[in-house]
Amino acid sequence: MSGGFEVIQAGIQASIQDLGRIGLTQIGVSRAGALDEFAFHHANKLLGNKYGSNMLEILLGGVKLKAKRATTFILTGAKVDATINNKPIEIWKTYKIDDGDILNLGFATCGVRVYLAVKDGFNIEQKYGSCSVNIKEKLGGKQLQAKEFLPFTCNCLSDNRKLPNKYLQNYDKLLIMRVVAGYQWDMFNHEEREKFFNTLYRVTGQNDRMGYRLSGDKIVSTCKGIISEPIAYGSVQIPTHGEPIVLLKERQTIGGYPKIGAVIPVDCFRLAQAKQDTHVKFKLVSLDMARDINIEFYKFFKEF
């Protein structure tokens, strides 16, 4: 039986995301997909969903939905005051919602992106191999609109599941971003590298699904611009103004600024939850270590 959510309030910027489009970077399509995979995968796992099932990524909150028929859902990610029919509910915990119930989200108090997943995901057709909305390119759909209907198959879990507290993250804490050296690493001399890894940077207001611009000590490279080349996920671009930009999933596919290396995926997930003025620091890790840390993360969710 099918049901769905009727959107009463669409919030600031909410969009359907899965793990994004794979294999299209070569024709200028960025991958997109859920920015905080920690919250994303836990939501699917707690609901017993297929790996990578789509869900709503909600920037800051402010979304109000009315259920048409029942489903089991979960909120993960940023801490937000949420209610069903004005009764407070917890995040990181599954709930059943019934026909006619109103789910209301306040605004995030810790972290910036809330994930709302339903049992088996929303019934949304893929475009170019994914349900993800690329907001900048207006590809794969649009950001959530009031009066829109988000269809789901009515399927409820018999019990409520909750993420054990030991897994919970504090999104406000100083964020250490582990970086593998790469790309134009050699164009930054020893002093500049030292400065890069010793500076306490601050997240600026210029942050979105494309990337996060940081503010702090300026880094200088010997390079005056490079021939445009492909940009990897997590790349730390150092433009002429000298302040780093960490590029995330909706980044441009190619670019001509030097890059000192790339932040590892699990730390990009955390960065995507950092609000303005959060302090961040970079830390150099070896490629092998970076790989081990990420394997540790993914093997919890997926067999490979």
Partner 1 sequence: MKLNYSLGESFNVASVDSVIIYFGQKISESVAKDVRSAFYALKNAKIESITELVPSYTSIMVTYNFLKISHKDICKKIDEVLRVVDKSCSENRARLISIPVYYGLEVGLDLQKLSKIKNRSIDEIISLHVDKEYFVYVIGFSPGFPYMGEVDPILATSRLANPRAKVPKGSVGIADNQTAIYPQSSPGGWQILGRTPIELFDTSYDGFSYLKVGDRVKFKQVNKKQFLELGGKL
Q: Under the rule (CB under 8 A), what is the footprint of partner 1?
A: 22-29, 127-128, 137-139, 180-183, 227-230, 232-235, 252-254, 259, 261-262, 264-265, 287-288, 290-291, 294-295, 298-299, 304
Question: Is 18 or 120 the residue whose CB approaches partner 1 more closely?
Answer: 18
Decide whether 1 or 227 has the Cβ nearer to partner 1. Answer: 227
Question: In the complex with partner 1, which residue's Cβ is closer, 4 or 258?
Answer: 258
Q: Which is nearer to partner 1, 28 or 100 (CB)?
A: 28
Residue number with CB closer to partner 1 (107 or 297): 297
Which CB sits closer to partner 1, 15 or 94? 15
List the structure tokens of 157.
Answer: 């879990």
**Minimum CB–partner distance for residue 287 and partner 1 (Å):** 6
Q: Which helix (H) or strand (E) holds 193?
A: helix 190-198
At closest approach, how far in Å is the CB of 233 from partner 1? Answer: 6
Handedness of CA 294, 295, 296, 297 (dihedral sign): positive
Compute the distance between CA of residue 64 and CA of residue 61 in angstroms, rounded to an integer: 9
Measured at the CA of 59, the angle between CA 217 and CA 70, to 5 degrees, comes to 155
* Chain centroid to CA 285: 22
Quote the least distance from Cβ 14 to partner 1, whole Å: 23
Question: Quick check: 71 and 155 in contact, CB under 8 A?
Answer: yes
Query: Residue 99 or residue 137: which is nearer to partner 1 going by CB?
Result: 137
Q: In what order do the strands lie in the sheet with 55-59?
A: 13-17, 55-59, 110-118, 71-79, 94-97
Least distance in Å: CB of 139 to partner 1? 6
Minimum separation from the CB atom of position 215 to partner 1 (A): 23
DSSP codes joined into one string, 30-70: -----S-HHHHHHHHHHHTPPTT--EEEEESB-EEEEEES-
Non-local CB neighbours of 201 within 8 Å, separated by 6+ positions: 214, 215, 216, 217, 243, 244, 279, 280, 281, 282
Q: Residue 175 Cβ, how far from partner 1 at the closest point, in Å?
A: 18
Provide, rounded to whole angstroms, the least separation between the CB of residue 91 and partner 1.
Answer: 28
